């Protein structure tokens, strides 16, 4: 029996017009987002967007669960409200939860009710992203969902409990997959009972058996919300393939595993404040064998091509400017400078970047970009990985 957390209301009363400009009517979570927005458990940002694909953090999750629950019903209490909610006590909360933080009340009550726990150092880590299994545990405890013991993993009872109630959407495939704002809205909508006003056949469910024990490799890429990285990647791939087509070469295919390794290297560059090919433990600027071992440590190994190399890495950095709003075009204009620099090596005695673009050895590429933001744009670090067929079996990339 689900805890009484949100009054069941007829969904027909919701406005049917698109409310958020970044949530189209054909979005998988559209109905859920409209619902939670109308009833106040989740709202949009100051710029009018909802950002459904943005990864959820721990503070947001607890705050939303708290907002979707009434004090009378009990935050983590019984559905009849018999359990009393413990008043928050800032002194007994977490070292990194300021008393005046927007999420402080929800987090401190959740801790007092033993719904959440902190880390060994006494922190809550409010900005840390939330995985499917972490969200399942917090939601199950907060909502008073009946949980049965058993399973191979600590999270098995919680995932199974939410799965049995039809709360987990089909977009969840891996235990460590990050939860997006749109997916949390979907879960809160399904928990509310409001889905009864929709066609039940449209409510696809996650395969709980497949989620348990399955993991994916998260990308470290953390781009600004106003940049569409899918379009950036497609644009970069298009430039490469236009150049190759002009020479009668087959086009590259985009490889998400190489996108992940490229993003890892670019993120490292952002943290250091500079980018180079030099791997930790070496002073050589470009040590081919050491880079190969670096790829292998990330689970990526390449088919031997019989040519000069089986993989290569191109890097660059540049600035881009964007004063306001959507900045994808501005970033694309910035990385075009890097691409033009690479291609500009054509015909020169030293042309490693251009050679990578037109090499017949490689079949795949991946692009990773990290942005050190400023008020009007930022400095970006760009890594491109080219390679032959991947012969290893790395974990799939998280959605």
Give residue 40's pLDDT. Answer: 85
CA distance 254 to 260: 11
**pLDDT per residue as tens digits for the range 364-389:** 999 999 998 775 678 999 999 999 99
What letters, b where the CB count within 10 A reaches 16 and e where it falls short, cover 7-43?
Answer: eeeebeebeeeebbebbeeebbbbbbbbbbbebebbe
Write out the two tokens for 82: 């018999």
Q: What is the DSSP string of 95-154?
A: TTS-TTSTTHHHHHHHHHTTS----TTS---TTSB-BHHHHHHHHHHHHT-------SST
- Write the Ramachandran bin of 213: left for phi over 0, alpha for psi from -120 to 50, otherwise beta: left
C-alpha atoms less than 13 angstroms from C-alpha of 198 in its C-beta half-sphere: 19
CA distance 27 to 23: 6
Give residue 198's pLDDT. Answer: 57
**pLDDT per residue as tens digits for the range 305-350:** 877 799 999 999 999 998 777 899 999 999 999 999 999 999 999 9
CA distance 58 to 123: 12
What is the percent of the chain with per-residue pLDDT over 90, rounded to a whole number?
72
Give residue 221's pLDDT. Answer: 86
Give residue 6's pLDDT. Answer: 34
Q: Of the given ranges (23-27, 202-206, 249-253, 262-266), which has the lowest mean pLDDT?
A: 202-206
The pLDDT mean for the chain works out to 88
The answer, yes or no, to whether residue 12 has pLDDT greater than 50, is: no
**pLDDT per residue as tens digits for the range 115-165:** 999 999 999 999 999 999 999 999 999 999 999 988 899 999 999 999 998
What global pTM score does this model have? 0.79
Is-contact 365 385, C-beta < 8 A?
Answer: yes
Average pLDDT over residues 49-53: 92
Residue listed under structure tokens 């390794």: 261
């Amino acid at each position: 029996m689900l805890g009484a957390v949100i009054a069941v209301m007829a969904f027909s009363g919701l406005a049917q017009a698109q409310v958020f400009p970044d949530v189209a009517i054909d979005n998988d979570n559209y109905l859920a987002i409209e619902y939670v927005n109308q009833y106040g458990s989740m709202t949009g940002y100051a710029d009018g967007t909802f950002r459904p694909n943005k990864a959820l953090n721990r503070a947001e999750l607890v705050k939303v669960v708290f907002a979707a629950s009434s004090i009378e019903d009990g935050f983590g209490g019984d559905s009849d409200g018999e359990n009393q909610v413990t008043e928050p006590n800032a002194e007994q909360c977490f070292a990194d939860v300021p008393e005046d933080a927007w999420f402080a009340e929800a987090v401190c009550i959740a801790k007092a009710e033993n719904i959440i726990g902190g880390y060994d150092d006494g922190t809550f880590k409010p900005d840390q992203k939330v995985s499917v299994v972490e969200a399942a545990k917090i939601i199950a405890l907060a909502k008073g969902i009946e949980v049965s013991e058993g399973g191979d993993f600590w999270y098995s009872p919680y995932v199974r409990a939410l799965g049995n109630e039809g709360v987990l959407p089909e977009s969840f495939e891996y235990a460590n997959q990050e939860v997006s704002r749109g997916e949390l809205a979907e879960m809160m909508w399904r928990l509310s009972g409001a889905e009864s006003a929709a066609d039940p056949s449209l409510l696809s469910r996650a395969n709980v058996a497949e989620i348990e024990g399955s993991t994916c490799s998260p990308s470290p890429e953390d781009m600004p919300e106003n940049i569409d990285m899918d379009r950036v990647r497609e644009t970069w791939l298009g430039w490469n393939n236009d150049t190759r087509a002009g020479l009668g070469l087959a086009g590259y295919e985009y490889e998400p595993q190489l996108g992940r390794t490229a993003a890892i290297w670019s993120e490292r560059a952002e943290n250091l404040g500079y980018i180079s090919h030099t791997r930790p433990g070496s002073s050589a600027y470009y040590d081919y064998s050491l880079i190969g071992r670096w790829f292998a440590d990330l689970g990526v190994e390449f088919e031997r091509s019989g040519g000069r190399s089986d993989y290569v890495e191109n890097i660059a950095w540049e600035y881009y400017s964007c004063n306001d709003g959507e900045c994808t075009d501005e970033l694309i204009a910035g990385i075009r400078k890097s691409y033009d620099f690479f291609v500009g090596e054509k015909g020169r005695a030293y042309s490693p970047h251009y050679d990578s673009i037109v090499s017949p050895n490689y079949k795949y590429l991946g692009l990773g970009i990290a942005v050190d933001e400023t008020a009007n744009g930022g400095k970006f670090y760009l890594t491109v990985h080219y390679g032959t067929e991947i012969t290893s079996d790395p974990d799939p990339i998280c959605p």
